[in-house]
Amino acid sequence: MKDLSFPSSGEVAFAGRSNAGKSSAINTLANQRRLAFTSKTPGRTQQINYFGLGGEKYLVDLPGYGYAKVQKTEQQRWRIFLGAYLETREPLAGLILIMDARRPFTELDRQMLEWFAPRGRPIHALLTKADKLGRSEQAQTLTSVRGEISKWGSGFTASLFSSLKKTGTSEVEAVIASWLAIETSASRAKFAAPGSATGQSLLEPPL
């Protein structure tokens, strides 16, 4: 992809609606890895943030979408940028689709799936704010989201997550580790590798 030439040997992108809990989820995962947090203004992410995992492997925080107060022209630019990134970014190993467990599969979530699913690389639906649902609602939601996501591609997965309660972390960590071929047993040390402990804002969208 022409505008996105940042060298990477493998990356996992996090996409989601604004307010779905994407930053909190990345924080929860990154904090466990002792990576630094790059702050942002809600709804106004101006760049995508790369979180180093060592060995030129990264977690990529994509701009949230669907924020009502963002101007139409800006929304359109982000759509073009996100679409191009998801359709063409070569080191992109898999997509974590962040969805509020109470409102999965909005129209824009489906757009992300339409862009990325045809590439034949894996997608994991991470259902955030699970703490807001009761036990049986959680189970029902997980079953229905697993059914829906599996229609988009074989081996596509889903799990429940709560940044508040810190639940569901090991499941998504295992998914990311397998996509990036990071050894699970050594992943804690690798994720916290010296020199990689900085969330970097390295890329500007082609505005």
Residues that bind ligand GDP (CB under 6 A): 16, 18-24, 42, 64, 128-129, 131-132, 162-164
- Which residue carries 């029902």 as its tokens? 140
User: Which residue's CB is nearer to ligand GDP, number 19 or number 178?
Assistant: 19
Closest approach, Cβ 175 to ligand GDP, in A, equals: 18
> Sheet holding 199-203: strands in order across?
157-160, 123-128, 92-100, 10-16, 57-61, 48-52, 199-203
Closest approach, Cβ 17 to ligand GDP, in A, equals: 7
Of 96, 62, 119, which is closest to residue 173 (Cα–Cα)? 96
Closest approach, Cβ 193 to ligand GDP, in A, equals: 25
User: Which residue's CB is nearer to ligand GDP, number 130 or number 182?
Assistant: 130
Q: Which residues contact 151 (CB under 8 A, 6 or more apart)?
A: none
Closest approach, Cβ 2 to ligand GDP, in A, equals: 27
Strand partners, 201: 49
Closest approach, Cβ 74 to ligand GDP, in A, equals: 16
SS (H, E, C) 122-170: CEEEEEECHHHCCHHHHHHHHHHHHHHHHCCCCCCEEEECECCCCECHH
User: Which residue's CB is nearer to ligand GDP, number 10 or number 64?
Assistant: 64
Q: Is the Cβ–Cβ distance between 149 and 156 less than 8 Å?
A: yes
User: Which residue's CB is nearer to ligand GDP, number 54 or number 64?
Assistant: 64
User: Which residue's CB is nearer to ligand GDP, number 161 or number 191?
Assistant: 161
